[in-house]
Chain A
Amino acid sequence: EIVMTQSPATLSVSPGESATLSCRASQSINTNVAWYQQKPGQAPSLIIYGASSRASGIPARFSGSGSGTEFSLTISSLQSEDFAVYYCLQVITWPYTFGQGTKLEIK
């Protein structure tokens, strides 16, 4: 099973600033990674897929990068609605596995 490790567990950032979240895979997954945003009481929502492609309706301030085992999600000019928990997910092989999440909180 591929283990996805996210860091940091919690990230405190002020609105208007940028945030970079990291995700590391235990083996190479090429670019078969997605990022999801989850707000309290809601299902996860697709933000980025294929490591760097924005999902439909996602604003340009969200960007993803990486390949192989190291990936990152950058959110520039943070808005109030961006503060949530973010998960990475690998879909190159079964079982698909999620990271444990990064909570992005308001500083």
Chain B
Amino acid sequence: QVQLVQSGAEVKKPGAPVKISCKTSGYTFTRHYMNWVRQAPGQGPEWMGVIDPSGGRTKYAQKFQGSITMTSDSSTSTFYLELSGLSAEDTAIYFCARRKDGSNYFDYWGQGTLVTVSS
């Protein structure tokens, strides 16, 4: 069965970077793009961007251009989201969400990674 397992919670100081992982299993890694979505406390989800694992091509929401990097590693079937220059406003749960075959919808989600930014 399809599984997306994310890395554990992180606590970071303002200005620090963080790298979150999303390890996949149960499907062909290169067949499905992976999206990253974040959800601040009490807020709706927010799409951050998407990566094509077959070539590494990415598309980021303009809001996050320059502050995020999405990568993938086919040898371990793992996706990564790196955020730089964290601020308190980046405190949120970060989800990876697989693109559904033949569409742009998100069918499987990771369990989420809480990133807390606090001095």
Using a CB–CB distance below 8 Å, which chain A residues touch chain B? 32, 34, 36, 42-46, 49-50, 55, 87, 89, 91-92, 94-101
- Contact yes or no, A95 B105, CB < 8 A: no
Q: Which residue of B lies closest to A43 (CB)?
A: B109
A residues near B44, Cβ cutoff 8 Å:
87, 98-101
- Contact yes or no, A43 B105, CB < 8 A: no
- The secondary-structure label for the interface of chain A is loop
A55-B107, A95-B61, A95-B62 known; A43 vs B47 contact (CB < 8 Å): no
How many cross-chain pairs have Cβ atoms below 8 Å apart between A and B?
55
- The 4 residue pairs across chains A and B that have the minimum distance between CB atoms: A43-B109, A91-B104, A95-B61, A96-B47
- Contact yes or no, B45 A87, CB < 8 A: yes
Tell yes or no: B112 within 8 A of A by CB.
yes
